[in-house]
Structure 1
Amino acid sequence: MVVLGEPLTCLNLYEEISDVRLHSESHTSVEFEKKLDCPLGVTQDLMKYLDDRILTRILVADAGVAFPDTLAFVFRSRMPYYSERNNISVVTVDDKEDGKEATKKELDVFISSLSTKEIKAVVVKAGEPASRSVTYHSAKDVENIYSAVCQGLAVLEDGESIIVEAFCETLKPLPVPHLDYEEQAVGIKSKALSCTIRAVVCCTPDGNQLVSDIVCGIGHADRTLHCNNTLPLSLESFLIQWGLQNKSKIEKIRSMIKEKAEDILGNWMKHENCLNKERGGLLAETGIIGVNFVLTQQEAGSYEAVAVSVNNSRKIIENTQMCELQNPAELGSSVRPLVATMVNRSQRFLLRGKKILLIGGGERIRKEFVWRAAEEYNVKIILIDPDPNHSAVKRVYKFIQCDIEDHSHDDENTKKIVHLLRTQGLDVDGCMTVDENYVPLTALVCEALRMLGNTPEASRMAKKKSLSQNALLASSTCSSFLPKPHLYAVKIHEIVRPEDVKGSSNLIRYPAILKPEYGAYSFGIHLVKDEKECLKYFNSIQKTLQNTDEKAFGIGYGKEMHLAEYSLGTKHGVEVVMFRGKILAAFISDCGPTRFPLFFETSSCMPSCLPLDKQRQMVMATKQCVDAVGLTDGVYSVEFKMAPTGPKLIEINERVTGAHYRNWIRTVFETDILFLNFLIACGIQPRVWPLEPRCQLIGVMCTTTAHAKALSRPGIATLEILAEAHEKGEIILFPMESELKENEPYENLLCQVAVKGKSVNEAKKNLLAVCRKYGIDNQQYPVERFLSPFVELSWQ
């Protein structure tokens, strides 16, 4: 994945928004915030919940994360605390004097339970967290513990609490020979040290959780550690100082802390959703929290991270920014996911209620994701389609049936659409298509309605594959710093009639690729070894074109074909986001080897396994190819072959991908390219903030010829069984057909089956096991070979 353009500086943007938010919070109330169209974020009301030590402790417990045994005294509690954990006890005190006796009894029981667990010390935390009123006591010194609780109780205000908890000792440092020698030589014994670990957890744009930073602080064990009395350093530096040199152990500890912290924020967000419903909508969402851990060592030698507190955003930024200032290359990294989420929420509000004219609704279930997305983002789709019984009729804001299938009359179709909108009094904010067949018509409608979009000429050149290649050959680049666009082109020979095949070997090197000029999804594409075979398949495909209504063949635009010189190399897709001629983001995927002589996709992988310099080279090629054609605004799917000499253009699809890649990009990078397309169509410049890849995805396609029988075995492998496996999380299923159809005149795609992994190797292993389980891997469809190009690069 490569992001181009001029992204905002995360740190600066966060500071600006924080200043506004903190200022507004000090002068406003929740009632004011309820009247806002777009929520401020963490409000004063919500902050009180985050600062509630008892509530956060219970939520930590509910998340399944280790925590100290806890006894809490709350003065005149404002809310009920529910905990089924026997190591969390909450006592309500309504009268400070009368409650002292009950306090003593509860303390005796609590201390007694700690002694059975051989816990030697307790911590008393009194008042609000900001007061830092923390004292440490021997578990045997019950009188002093009781005294500390009574002193704290005397100054509590309504709703405030005192926490008495078991002391968690940081794991002891391993012996370090040179330090031991220094101590002995100098005659000074090192003071006992302790360490606090703070994980910064952000809510991502898709509502997931992501640890953006882990910062440690080392200090003497006889005092409470916080950002004001420790210097920030990385988790790795802390563990190395503590004597852990094993890289795999360090990575395991980091993963454990990351998982626990993300689980805590996930559980908090569930609680927050309940609060919003109960309170009639707080119009607020937590974007970032800090979780403080103590790393302890278990009897078996394993390590455990114990959560000792949760902090709100105001208290965690200071510490992490200190660490970032020491490491300028990391500046802003801790709040980058937060800023991405804040910007995403703002853009969702900008898009809410916009009316988007959608030309063509696509076929079958392949466009189902569009209607779900429109509902998710509260976009009003006005769909124009020739089919009066289209599956989306009841899913969209407004459906208009209009005969627009004859693309030779797109000028007249444009007038009909504009007339229908005007007569029905429909004002639209944007216009787009997700159907390859309506790309040129959409450009004409955008021009007629003066909507943001590509010119009709650019759309015509992108639609016809030979024109795209010719545009590269004809393009001239003024800058000496850019490659010549013709380097991305492949040699082609247009074939309109059978006579055009004769003599083609003098112009094109065989074997070559015979393909329709206007097709999609690799329909009708065939590898031919000589003129004789080329003529044979040209006649066969022309016959198929005459006898089918399959729109993927692009028959509405003509039956022309062309020969393209075959380029050796690996195939790749680039999903590119453009606004006003500028690439905002590009997402690269790898494709596995094809099953010759056809060219349907067999397997795919994201993120790309290409070296970073080749990925950047491919993004540069994408930019120059779309510039040569004249495309400026939208989300496109551009296909390349990475030949030994560099990228070679296969084709440009001037619409958001209709395959699984939209889902993949959202899963891996938390960026929804369809959402970005909605924004662009409405003339809103997207702020694209792709996160670092969260996982590795690898998948295989299932086709009619290779899997119709395999996926028809009741109780073993059917589309319904695969759907159940998807619901269980075993696989990620992207259906393309709602039912199996055998004996079709051409191969068709049934579905895609994919798996997640932490690495390329893990994902490959998991996918191969799934394919063997459900019969997807067979003699006709050797999955292991199709996965062979996906190789993990150890140096990246």
Structure 2
Amino acid sequence: MNETQQQPQNPNLSLSHIIGDKFAASSGILQPTVRKCCQNEYNIYEELLLNESNGMEDYTAPLWQKKTWKVPHGLCGPLASSKDDNQLTRFYEALQHTLYETGLPETIDLTGVSKKQSCDQVTIGILSSPVECMSNLLAGGELCPGDMLLIMSDTWCSKQTSPILPNKYSLYVHQAVTFYEGGYSFLERYDPPRRVTYFVNYFTDACTGGVCCEGEKLEKGLDCPMSSSLKLNQIVDDKLYTRILLGKAGVGYPVTLAFRYKAIGSYENENEISNITVVRIDDGACHSASKNLVRNAISKFITENKNSAYNKLVVKPSGVSWYGSKCVSFHNKMDVDGITAAVQNVFEHLQEGDSVLVEEYIQFEQPKHQNHDIGKYNVRIRSNVVRNSSGNSQTTQITCGIGISDQPINGDNTIPHSLELLLKKFGFSDIQIREIRQDIALQSEKCMAAIIQSEAGLSEEKRGEVGAQTDLIGIDLILKKTEEAKYEVVVLEINSHDCMINCQIYEFINRNKLHEAAADLVETMIARSNAFLIKGKTLLVIGVGDFSKWFAFEEANRHGVNVVLVDTDFDNSMPSVPVFVEHDLSNLKNIEKIASDIIRKLHSKKIYPDGCISFWEDYAPIAAAICEKLKLVGSNFRAATIAKNKFLTHQILSKRMGDIPHFPRTYLYSSKTHQIDSDADIQKAVSEKTISLPAVLKLLYGSSAVGVHLVKTEEECKQYFNEIQEKLDMHGVGLGFGSSMMLTNFIAGSEHDVDLIIFNRKLVAAFVSDNGPTRVPDFTETVAVMPSTLDEESKSQLITTAYQCCLEIGLENGVFNIELMMTKTGPKLLEINARMGGYYLRDWILQCYGVDILLSAMMISFGIRPHIRAKKPTRSIVGVMCLPSEHGDILSDREVLKRLKEKQDNGSIRFSKFDFPIANIAAIGPDATTAMKALIDLCDTFRISTPSYNVEKMLSFVPS
């Protein structure tokens, strides 16, 4: 070290001896009120030393680089004492510091006016300083704007007796920093306070190193879903226990000798898992018997592994308080004395139930052609895995650190790299990198799956809280080179839910990756919040429909929703429901009276629903009328009535000719129509040239294409009209409203379905699918593809058309299905179904986009806003409708049904049965072309494709 690099002679000299005592201690950040014009290096060094002396630098950044931010007057919150809270102030300034330096807007104080919130609203509360959870907060601001809350003090919360679970408590937030889209955040105050629907607690001894422990008391006895718990933390952060789980799951880990210190009970199969030897130490760490036991166990372990490839051993502690490489040391494999002393040293710091691990040291090796610096560097790879919204394990992000081989490597002493950048630095090929990434993701997901499985059998007492489960883990791992020059994944340890800090640092460096690690986790938070919000609600369902709708009742039951079913009669083949109310729904001429009568029956039974819905086309207006009378959220009666009447829908839309600054004029989507109640109406429509032939004749209130027919002449039109009036008698196709028909121009183009989720007039999500050519002259559906194969601009036109038409007729809340034609001039409306799409649509949307439109429909009926991130589809589904006339015999064959079920169980197809048509068989592939080819093969195998029902020809519109 040269002279200019030498440190001052007296590094402990106080700053007051250098530049005086006039310092302001503001928010824990010491700053001189009077600063000399010039300071030498000695002055600056001493000032920095004192700035690091207030005891929290290991937990929150010192922030000496920036002047103190203005702290809002109401920061301490409505429940806090009047004294200044230095810790809270420090957290607030740390948040502003992060926002400022990452180019995001600083927090705006809105506490001057209390905000009114619905109690039935997603509220994700994270009790934490901002340091650990910025990635979660920002992702939440995008996915559930206004519902992701940073709670920086337990005084911002209160607990009240749970309204849903006995002997439990609901957590309410009175004040929080709330995040919105674009990184905007606001300090908000709530009156009444918001009920937390998902809780994340980082104010624990383990998460903060003992700095903030207020959350430990706060989480006790909560009724809401939680990310982990104190007890689950102790399980997941136990390196020995998780290695036993990994052994069962077939995931690699280092050869390990484990000393369990004053353990209570034994792990299941702890002495039967390969490459793990467990020794119990029940006496004090310094007891002579314990010393001998430790030494003898280490000697035996070394002897048994003396011929192994590794030449070093690692000593590390295991337990909830051990993180960041604390007390980790490396030793020569044959150094019995040094290893024994290191183990004894760790014992001095252990708590009961902790362990000390002695394990093989794994050196990251480069490919053979890269020989420079071999052994000088080592790496640690961090894989973050979530329990996704479907309850499965999913790897979200992989980051890496590179360090010197002779010292521990962790997130605190490395700069985060992507896996690709790290492996390229060490000479790996693109093919190797791709294979390694896939294997890391696979092995990581096995780790989470093992934890999910182990928690499935835990009692509430062992989980810690009724809503606690592990939703996030961070896995530290390394790549071990095998004799075949391949690389296997070796897991070093698993960390619990406060493991996102490295990911957020990586994402702030690489802004194109922002939200990558946290988005799926936030989706899980939202999904669990949704389940919590709807559990115990009472849902009034009008009409059971045919068996193709019965899944809705099963799902409602699974979510803990109490269904009250109203229908004409009940038989034992119908799905089980808690309450059945009998009411004649056969005559639908007076909807308002039917609705009033149903309400009277409900009230006489003291039934007061939280929501009302119908999944059956004919009963949507009844549900809308009941919603309107009971002031429930849903379609209004006027809008549902218009939607049910196809002629009225087009007539209203055709009148919407005014300017709209953000959309085309609505009349452009409508078609010329003429209501037909007699032969004279047909003659008038044709003679006045309102309608040009050939044209389409359809039922005014029809559904499922029943009664739709292409007519080429006036006489043919009259003949078909009279046949329909005399012969058609079919439940659920609109005849309860009347048998009037409409004549409309034939529209040339491709047919598409758009399924919309709308809440309070706002478009939440939209899904476009393609329908193949219908069977003329009756327009029955044949094949379909999801997602649509159209270009993005055409899909956007269809979505805008569907949304605009719904709003124009007054559909503002619900899940709706809109049928459209894409013509040369743009989209044209066929019809609006004021209910959730039927047949296969719910299943396909769930498979393609991960969105459950049934859950969204139920939530909206309860007045709960759905937060949805429709993922970019990674698969395509191509399906064909099966008709009684063509496939009745085939699909009544038990052997065929058995084989189809087997294919569905292995995930290669989707098979749905209906009343009419009788079924849909669909193939799944990575793209539409692959799925199409698989479906053609499937249809040939099962004789679905025939000369009169040529599936390959029907699918000719799919890009090949």
TM bucket, shorter chain:
0.7 to 0.9
Asked if 1:619 is matched to 2:775, the reply is: no
Name the SS of the counterpart of 1:711 in structure 2: helix
CA contact (8 A) 2:774 2:782 kept: yes
Task: In structure 2, give the amino acid aligned to 1:775.
Answer: R
| 429-438 or 155-164, which deviates more | 155-164
Match of 2:357 among 146, 158, 163: 163
Match of 1:722 among 895, 900, 905: 900
CA contact (8 A) 1:213 1:334 kept: yes
Asked if 1:238 is matched to 2:422, the reply is: yes
Aligned residue for 2:655?
A: 474
Aligned residue for 2:505?
A: 322
Aligned residue for 2:756?
A: 576
Distance in structure 2 (CA, Å) of the matches to 1:764 and 1:457? 42
**How far is 1:530 from its partner?**
4.3
CA contact (8 A) 2:144 2:867 kept: no
Alpha-carbon distance change, 127 to 344 in structure 1, aligned in 2, over 3 angstroms: closer
Aligned residue for 1:382?
A: 564
Alpha-carbon distance change, 107 to 564 in structure 1, aligned in 2, over 3 angstroms: farther
Alpha-carbon distance change, 144 to 450 in structure 1, aligned in 2, over 3 angstroms: same
Name the SS of the counterpart of 1:408 in structure 2: coil
Task: In structure 2, give the amino acid aligned to 1:455.
Answer: N
**How far is 1:655 from its partner?**
0.8
CA contact (8 A) 1:204 1:670 kept: no
Match of 1:60 among 227, 242, 246: 246
Asked if 1:16 is matched to 2:159, the reply is: no
Aligned residue for 2:124?
A: none
Match of 1:781 among 919, 928, 949: 949
Distance in structure 2 (CA, Å) of the matches to 1:564 and 1:242? 68
**How far is 1:278 from its partner?**
6.4
Q: Please list the CA deviations of residues 363-421 of structure 1 after superposition, one character each: whole Å capped at 9, or x if unmatched.
A: 2x11211111221121111111112337447x222111011221112222122112212
**How far is 1:480 from its partner?**
2.9
| 577-586 or 469-478, which deviates more | 469-478
Alpha-carbon distance change, 265 to 706 in structure 1, aligned in 2, over 3 angstroms: same
TM-score when scaled to structure 1?
0.87
Distance in structure 1 (CA, Å) of the matches to 2:560 and 2:571? 24
Q: Please list the CA deviations of residues 772-793 of structure 1 after superposition, one character each: whole Å capped at 9, or x if unmatched.
A: 333334434333344444449x
Match of 2:233 among 35, 44, 47: 47
Task: In structure 2, give the amino acid aligned to 1:411.
Answer: E
CA contact (8 A) 1:174 1:244 kept: no
**Which of the pair has more CA radius of gyration?**
2
Task: In structure 2, give the amino acid aligned to 1:50.
Answer: V
Distance in structure 2 (CA, Å) of the matches to 1:390 and 1:139? 71
CA contact (8 A) 2:669 2:828 kept: yes
Alpha-carbon distance change, 173 to 249 in structure 1, aligned in 2, over 3 angstroms: closer
| 119-128 or 649-658, which deviates more | 119-128
The 5 A counterparts of 1:346-495 are 346-363=529-546, 365-389=547-571, 391-392=573-574, 395-495=576-676
The 5 A counterparts of 1:78-477 are 78-83=264-269, 84-95=272-283, 96=285, 97-128=288-319, 129-130=322-323, 132=325, 133-172=327-366, 192-246=376-430, 249-276=432-459, 279=462, 282-283=465-466, 284-314=468-498, 316-363=499-546, 365-389=547-571, 391-392=573-574, 395-477=576-658
CA contact (8 A) 1:37 1:349 kept: no
Alpha-carbon distance change, 260 to 633 in structure 1, aligned in 2, over 3 angstroms: same
CA contact (8 A) 2:231 2:464 kept: no
Unaligned 5+ residue runs, structure 2? 1-138, 155-199, 205-211
Task: In structure 1, give the amino acid aligned to 2:253.
Answer: F
Name the SS of the counterpart of 1:71 in structure 2: strand
Alpha-carbon distance change, 559 to 628 in structure 1, aligned in 2, over 3 angstroms: same
Alpha-carbon distance change, 756 to 140 in structure 1, aligned in 2, over 3 angstroms: farther
Alpha-carbon distance change, 628 to 15 in structure 1, aligned in 2, over 3 angstroms: closer
**How far is 1:119 from its partner?**
3.5
Task: In structure 2, give the amino acid aligned to 1:625.
Answer: C
How much identity, in percent, do the aligned residues show? 32
**How far is 1:144 from its partner?**
3.6
Aligned residue for 1:522?
A: 705
Unaligned 5+ residue runs, structure 1? 1-5, 184-188, 738-747
Distance in structure 2 (CA, Å) of the matches to 1:666 and 1:280? 30
Aligned residue for 1:680?
A: 860
| 272-281 or 567-576, which deviates more | 272-281
Identify which of structures 1 and 2 has the higher relative contact order when contacts are C-alpha pairs closer than 8 Å and 6+ apart: 1
Distance in structure 2 (CA, Å) of the matches to 1:110 and 1:771? 61
Question: Could you say which structure has the higher helix fraction?
Answer: 1
Distance in structure 2 (CA, Å) of the matches to 1:621 and 1:460? 20
Name the SS of the counterpart of 1:82 in structure 2: coil
Task: In structure 2, give the amino acid aligned to 1:226.
Answer: N
**How far is 1:51 from its partner?**
0.8
Name the SS of the counterpart of 2:828 in structure 1: strand
Alpha-carbon distance change, 253 to 564 in structure 1, aligned in 2, over 3 angstroms: farther
Name the SS of the counterpart of 1:308 in structure 2: strand
Name the SS of the counterpart of 1:218 in structure 2: strand
**How far is 1:694 from its partner?**
5.5
| 577-586 or 450-459, which deviates more | 450-459
The 5 A counterparts of 1:642-791 are 642-693=822-873, 695-715=875-895, 717-718=896-897, 720-737=898-915, 748-791=916-959
CA contact (8 A) 1:736 1:749 kept: yes
Distance in structure 1 (CA, Å) of the matches to 2:375 and 2:765? 52
Q: Please list the CA deviations of residues 37-58 of structure 1 after superposition, one character each: whole Å capped at 9, or x if unmatched.
A: 2133321111111110011112
Distance in structure 2 (CA, Å) of the matches to 1:322 and 1:338? 17
Distance in structure 1 (CA, Å) of the matches to 2:691 and 2:432? 57
For this pair of structures, how many residues does the alignment match? Answer: 758
Task: In structure 1, give the amino acid aligned to 2:380.
Answer: T
CA contact (8 A) 1:74 1:93 kept: yes
Distance in structure 1 (CA, Å) of the matches to 2:553 and 2:836? 14
Distance in structure 2 (CA, Å) of the matches to 1:298 and 1:644? 61
Distance in structure 1 (CA, Å) of the matches to 2:649 and 2:380? 59
Distance in structure 1 (CA, Å) of the matches to 2:282 and 2:861? 60
Task: In structure 1, give the amino acid aligned to 2:412.
Answer: N
Aligned residue for 1:610?
A: 790
Distance in structure 2 (CA, Å) of the matches to 1:787 and 1:100? 76
Aligned residue for 2:25?
A: none
Alpha-carbon distance change, 298 to 577 in structure 1, aligned in 2, over 3 angstroms: same
**How far is 1:170 from its partner?**
2.3
| 352-361 or 26-35, which deviates more | 26-35
| 728-737 or 204-213, which deviates more | 728-737
CA contact (8 A) 1:71 1:163 kept: yes
Alpha-carbon distance change, 82 to 388 in structure 1, aligned in 2, over 3 angstroms: closer
Task: In structure 2, give the amino acid aligned to 1:352.
Answer: K
Task: In structure 2, give the amino acid aligned to 1:52.
Answer: D
CA contact (8 A) 1:168 1:294 kept: yes
| 591-600 or 332-341, which deviates more | 591-600
**How far is 1:650 from its partner?**
1.9
Alpha-carbon distance change, 127 to 633 in structure 1, aligned in 2, over 3 angstroms: closer
TM-score when scaled to structure 2?
0.73
Distance in structure 1 (CA, Å) of the matches to 2:482 and 2:375? 23
Name the SS of the counterpart of 1:130 in structure 2: coil
Distance in structure 1 (CA, Å) of the matches to 2:691 and 2:248? 67
Q: Please list the CA deviations of residues 341-365 of structure 1 after superposition, one character each: whole Å capped at 9, or x if unmatched.
A: 22332232222222122111112x1
**How far is 1:448 from its partner?**
1.9
CA contact (8 A) 2:324 2:412 kept: no
